Amino acid sequence: MESVDNMSQLSAHTREEIDAWRAKFPEGRQRSAVIAALHAAQHQNHGYLTKELMEAVAECLEIPAIQVFEVAAFYSMFETQPVGRHSISVCTNISCMLCGGEQLLGYIEKKLGIKAGESTADHKFYLKVEEECLAACTGAPMMMIDHKYYENLTQARIDEILDSI
Ligand code: FES
């Protein structure tokens, strides 16, 4: 039966996490737990979501799969294709752009030998296509790696950060 197969995509830990998020919302409002549930499923799957995982999340929350697909497609923090283990988001919005964000993005592309939107051959890094303002303008230029912010970047600082991962 398809539903059994889908649910088996989620680890016991992920299911527990999803149940805990679902319990935070009133009965019938479990749709509110979709973002947190997708985060848990993506984390379990090394940084990206598959169709089967998204269907499993929908079953777990007892909502139509389309409501899960929509959220995954809308928010930039969700990936629906295999990507490198460490996700790098370089902000190129106005404050960061004025402080050299685009040049730093170019520097990282050259250093890693990939273009924005690609992952390195060893699947270590994934350079996201474009980030909107990450609300750290006072620390421009900045980037986020695996949800951690790095601010006031220079090429030397980027070398230090990437080489330490
Ligand atoms: S413009 Fe880059 S953090 Fe705001």
Q: What is the pLDDT of residues 117-165, one digit of tens each?
A: 999 999 999 999 877 899 999 999 999 998 899 999 999 999 999 999 9
Residues of the chain scoring pLDDT < 70: 1-5
Atom of ligand 1 lying closest to residue 141 CA: 2
Atom of ligand 1 lying closest to residue 133 CA: 4
What's the rounded Cα separation, in Å, for the pair 165 and 143?
A: 15
Q: How far, in Å, is the centroid of ligand 1 from the Cα of 127?
A: 17
What's the rounded Cα separation, in Å, for the pair 33 and 83?
A: 24
**CA nearest to 51, candidates 87, 79, 83, 28:** 79
Neighbours of 27 (CB within 10 A): 6
The SS3 assignment for 126 reads: strand
Q: How far, in Å, is the centroid of ligand 1 from the Cα of 79?
A: 22
pLDDT value at residue 1:
46
Atom of ligand 1 lying closest to residue 131 CA: 2
**CA nearest to 43, candidates 116, 146, 155, 121:** 146
pLDDT value at residue 130:
72
Residue 97, ligand 1, Cβ within 6 A: no
Residues 6+ positions from 104 with CB-CB distance below 8 Å: 90, 141, 143, 153, 155, 158
Angle between helices 34-44 and 65-74 (to 10 degrees): 80
Predicted model pTM? 0.78
Locate all alpha helices (DSSP H) within the chain, ordered by sequence.
Answer: 2-7, 12-22, 34-44, 51-61, 65-74, 94-98, 101-112, 155-163
Residue 94, ligand 1, Cβ within 6 A: yes
pLDDT value at residue 4:
53
What's the rounded Cα separation, in Å, for the pair 66 and 87?
A: 26
Residue 133, ligand 1, Cβ within 6 A: yes
What's the rounded Cα separation, in Å, for the pair 165 and 160?
A: 9
Residue 12 is encoded by which pair of tokens? 């016991």
Q: Contact 54/72 with Cβ under 8 angstroms?
A: yes
Among 76, 104, 137, which residue has the most ligand 1 atoms within 8 Å of its CB, making it the best to mutate?
Answer: 137
Atom of ligand 1 lying closest to residue 134 CA: 3
